[in-house]
Structure 1
Amino acid sequence: MNASELKELFQNQFGYNEGVRVFFAPGRVNLIGEHTDYNGGYVFPAALTFGTWAAAAPRKDNVYRFASANFPTEAECSVSETLVYREEDDWANYPKGVLNELIQLAEDENKSYSGADILFYGNIPNGAGLSSSASIELVTALALSKLAGFDIPMLELVKLGQRAENRFVGVNCGIMDQFAVGMGKKDHAMMLKCDTMEYQYVPVKIEGYKLVITNTNKRRGLADSKYNERRSECEEGLAIIKKYLPEVQSLGDVSLQNWNKVKSHIENETIRRRVEHVITENERVLLATKSLQENALVSFGEMMKQSHESLRDLYEVTGFELDTLFEEAAKIEGCIGTRMTGAGFGGCNVSLVKEHAVDEFKEKVAKNYSLKTKLDPDFYVCEIGDGAKEVF
C-alpha cells in the first residue's frame, strides 16, 4: 500500500484528509541471539522492509482516535482521562500505552498533547514473532510526537516503546524489538548489548544468498505464553550466580569460562539449562557476528543451527511446528543456516538459502511441513531495510 492509498483510507475512516502525514516502522528479524535480550546479553537483529504504516493528523480537542485497516476494533480516548488497558480495545492497547508514556514524558517537561486521528495499516504477519507490536509502538511514538511538534530522539522513543509494552500491556519484553524497529539500517544488522545499549552496525553481505522467513502459521500470544516464566527462571539463576560472582549484573556479563566454574552451584536442572542457553547463546552471537564480518557465511549458518538446538533442548521454547520447520529446512542442500526467531512457541523460522535453491526450499519445506503438522507455512524472501521514519 502506498501513501496515497493510505490517505484515501484515512479519508474514508475519519471524513477528511487535510494535514495528514504518513509514518512507517518496520518489523524485525533476529538473526541470532534469542532470549538473551532481557538477560542483558547480545542480540543481532535487522529491520525488514515490511512493517506498519500510520496516517495521522492532529486534533485540538485532546481526543485520540485509533483505527486500523487490518482489524475492526477502534478505540478513542482523551488526554484528560486516565488511560488503562482494556481487553475490548485489543490491538489498540499498544498505541494507547505509547500515548500514555508520551503524555507522562511531556508532563515532566511542561509540554502537552492535544489529540490526533491515526489510521494504521500493517503487512507483518500477526502473531508471527516479527515484532508487529514493537512496530505499532514505534510508528505511534514517532507519529504522535511529530504531530505535537516534539522532536524526541529515536533512542528515547525506543525506550518509551519498551516501557509501554512492559507497564501498559504487561509483557515483560526486553529492549531488542523496539531497538531494531527504531534504529534499523538498510543492509545492516545490529549487534546490541541490551543492558548497556552499546551497539554497532554490521553489514550483512550475503551475495548469492537470500534470507527466507517461514511462518509456521501456529499463532502464539506472547503475553500468555511461557515468556514471563522463562524470565523468572533466568532471574532465579542469576541470583544464585551472584553469590559466587558478585560483580555480575546480568547473565549477559557471565563468560563461558566463569559459567563452567559456577554452574554446579545451580542444583535445579531446569534453571541450570535455562541459564546455560543464555550464556552459550551470548557467545554464539559474538562468534556469528565475527563470521559475518569475515564473510564466513557457512560458519554463520552453523551458529544459527546451534542456536535453534539450544532453544529446543535447553530453553524449551520451540515446539513441534518450529522443530519440524527447522528439520525440513536443514535437509535442503542450499540452506546453510536455519533457526527459530522471536519468542518461540510458534511464530517464524529464519533461514539463509542459496539464491538458486529458494524455489526448491519453499516447495519441499512446505510439502513436508504440511504433511507432518497439517498446517500450511508462508514464506517471505526478505530484504533488510531502515528503521522508523516519516515517509510522506
Structure 2
Amino acid sequence: MDINELKTKFKKIFGRDGAAVFFAPGRANLIGEHTDYNGGYVFPCALTFGTYLIASKRHDSKVNFYSVNFENEGVISADLNDIKKENRWADYPKGVLETFKQAGHIINTGFDALYFGDVPNGAGLSSSASIEVVTAVMINDFYNFGCSLIELAKIGQKAENNFVGMNCGIMDQFASAMGKKDNAILLDCNTLEYSYCPIALNGISILIANTNYNHKLTGSQYNTRRSQCEEALKLVQSRFKVNYLCQLKPSDLPKAEDLVKDETLIKRMRHAVTENARTLEAVALLKKGDIEGFGKLMDASHASLKNDYEVTGPALDAMAQALQGCDGVLGARMMGGGFGGCCIALVKNEFLEEVQQKAGREYEAALKIKPAFYIAQIGAGARKL
C-alpha cells in the first residue's frame, strides 16, 4: 500500500485525517548473531522495507491502534492511565508508550495510530523493532521530547524487554533507528560505540530467503540461550576479568572451557566468542574489498549457529544448505533469533534468478513449504516522512 492509500484507510477507520506519517525500517544482520546481548559486535544494516505509521493526536486520554496487517483484530483501544499487556500485536506500541511514561515523560493526550508493515511478519527481519521504533519516533515528535535516535532505540528495547517480555538485545532497534543508506553499522553492543561501513557490493545483491517456517521468540529457547550464556559467564569470571562473554578472545577458550566444564554451556560460549571474532574479521575483509572472504565467514557463522548455539532447526538448515550449494552464492547463513525465519545470502547478480529457483525447489522438496525470496536494498533509518 502506498502513503495515499494508508491515509485513506486512516480516515475510514478513525473518521478524520492523519496528521503525520512516520517510517522505521526492518534490518538485516550481515554477520554477528547472538553476540549483541553477550557484549559483542554486530554488523546490521537497515532495509528499504519496514513499518509505516500514520497518526493524529487526540484531545482525550484514549489511544487507538490499528494494523493493516492484522485487520481481523480491528481497533485496539486503551487509556493512557491504564495500559495493559494483552498478548496481541499492539503490545509493542503499548510497551513503547508505557516506557516513555516510566521514564518521566508527560503524555497527557492520546492518539490514533494506523500501522502498515511491508516487513514479512515472523521472518526474522525485525518487524517488532520497526514497530517499536516508529512508535517512539512518533511520540517523540508529537510531544516534543527531544530524544535522540539512540535514546529512542533504547526505549524500544526496554519496551520489548519489560513490557512484551522478550529479552532481546539492542541491535534490532539500533539498526532501525540509526540506519544509513548504502552502509552497514559496526556496533559494539557493550558500549553502543558504532561506526558506519560503506557496502560496495559491485554486481552482488543481498538475497533474503524466507523459510515461511514461523517462529515465535517470546517463550521460546531464545531466553534459554541467554541464560545459558549468563551461567557460563559467571563461571569464567572466577579467572577472567570480563563483564561479557564476547570480551574473551578465541585464544582464551581452552582455559575458559576448563572453568565451565558443562558441554552445553561450553558450546554456547564458544559460539559467542568465535562469532564476535568473525564479525570483526568480516568487516576488515569488507573494507579491503574481499567480498568472497566475507561470504566464507557467513558460511562459518551458520555452522556455529547450528552446531554450537543450536538455534537453526530443520527449515533454516535446509535453506542455508540449498543456498550454499548454488553457483553464484558467496555465502549464506541464518539470520535473526533462529528456529525459523530467514536466511541471508550474498549472490552475484547474474545468478539471482537461478539461485531463487534452485534453492526454492530444494527447500520445498525437503520441508514441503514454499519459501519466499526478497532482493534487499540497504536503506536509511527511522524518520518522519
The TM-score bracket by the shorter chain reads: over 0.9
Map 1:328-343 → 2, pairs under 5 A: 328-343=322-337
Give 3-state SS (helix, strand or coil) of 1:211's partner.
Answer: strand
Give 3-state SS (helix, strand or coil) of 1:243's partner.
Answer: coil
Asked if the contact 1:37/1:43 (under 8 Å) is kept, the reply is yes
The aligned amino acid for 1:343 is G
2:167 counterpart of 1:184: no
Map 1:148-187 → 2, pairs under 5 A: 148-187=143-182
Residue of structure 1 in register with 2:85 after alignment: 85
The aligned amino acid for 1:39 is N
Residue of structure 2 in register with 1:43 after alignment: 42
Q: Deviations over 1:132-178 (max 9, x none)?
A: 00000000111122112322111100000000000000000000010
Whole-angstrom CA distance in 2 between matches of 1:372 and 1:223: 27
Q: Deviations over 1:83-140 (max 9, x none)?
A: 22113xx100000000001122244xxx333111000000111111100000000001
Whole-angstrom CA distance in 2 between matches of 1:313 and 1:131: 24
Q: Deviations over 1:13-53 (max 9, x none)?
A: 10110x51000000001000000011111100000000000
The aligned amino acid for 1:102 is F
Give 3-state SS (helix, strand or coil) of 1:77's partner.
Answer: strand
The aligned amino acid for 1:227 is Y
Give 3-state SS (helix, strand or coil) of 1:379's partner.
Answer: strand
Equivalent in 128, 132, 146 of residue 133 of structure 1: 128
Residue of structure 2 in register with 1:114 after alignment: 109
- Deviation at 1:356? 0.2
Whole-angstrom CA distance in 2 between matches of 1:304 and 1:353: 12
Asked if the contact 1:58/1:148 (under 8 Å) is kept, the reply is no
Q: Deviations over 1:162-218 (max 9, x none)?
A: 000000000000000100111000011101110110111001110110000000000
Asked if the contact 1:46/1:188 (under 8 Å) is kept, the reply is yes
Asked if the contact 1:102/1:145 (under 8 Å) is kept, the reply is no
TM-score in terms of structure 1 length? 0.96
2:8 counterpart of 1:3: no
The aligned amino acid for 1:149 is N
Residue of structure 2 in register with 1:53 after alignment: 52
Whole-angstrom CA distance in 1 between matches of 2:114 and 2:165: 24
2:271 counterpart of 1:277: yes
Residue of structure 1 in register with 2:317 after alignment: 323
Residue of structure 2 in register with 1:76 after alignment: 77
Asked if the contact 1:41/1:252 (under 8 Å) is kept, the reply is yes
Map 1:4-43 → 2, pairs under 5 A: 4-17=4-17, 20-43=19-42
CA-atom RMSD in angstroms: 1.0
Whole-angstrom CA distance in 2 between matches of 1:215 and 1:166: 25
Whole-angstrom CA distance in 2 between matches of 1:276 and 1:227: 17
2:295 counterpart of 1:301: yes
The aligned amino acid for 1:103 is K
The aligned amino acid for 2:201 is I
More divergent stretch after superposition (139-148 vs 120-129) = 139-148
Give 3-state SS (helix, strand or coil) of 2:65's partner.
Answer: strand
Asked if the contact 1:29/1:48 (under 8 Å) is kept, the reply is yes
Residue of structure 1 in register with 2:235 after alignment: 240
- Deviation at 1:225? 1.7
Equivalent in 98, 101, 104 of residue 102 of structure 2: 104
Residue of structure 1 in register with 2:247 after alignment: 253
Whole-angstrom CA distance in 1 between matches of 2:245 and 2:256: 12
- Deviation at 1:267? 1.1
Whole-angstrom CA distance in 2 between matches of 1:259 and 1:193: 21
Asked if the contact 1:116/1:144 (under 8 Å) is kept, the reply is no
Give 3-state SS (helix, strand or coil) of 1:57's partner.
Answer: strand
The aligned amino acid for 1:312 is K
Residue of structure 1 in register with 2:356 after alignment: 362
Asked if the contact 1:55/1:118 (under 8 Å) is kept, the reply is yes
Whole-angstrom CA distance in 2 between matches of 1:328 and 1:51: 27
Map 1:353-392 → 2, pairs under 5 A: 353-391=347-385
Whole-angstrom CA distance in 2 between matches of 1:262 and 1:338: 30
Identity, in percent, stands at: 46
The aligned amino acid for 2:252 is N
Give 3-state SS (helix, strand or coil) of 2:69's partner.
Answer: coil
Q: Deviations over 1:243-297 (max 9, x none)?
A: 011x201012111122233222211100000000000000000000001111100
Segments of structure 2 that go 5 or more residues without pairing to the other structure are none
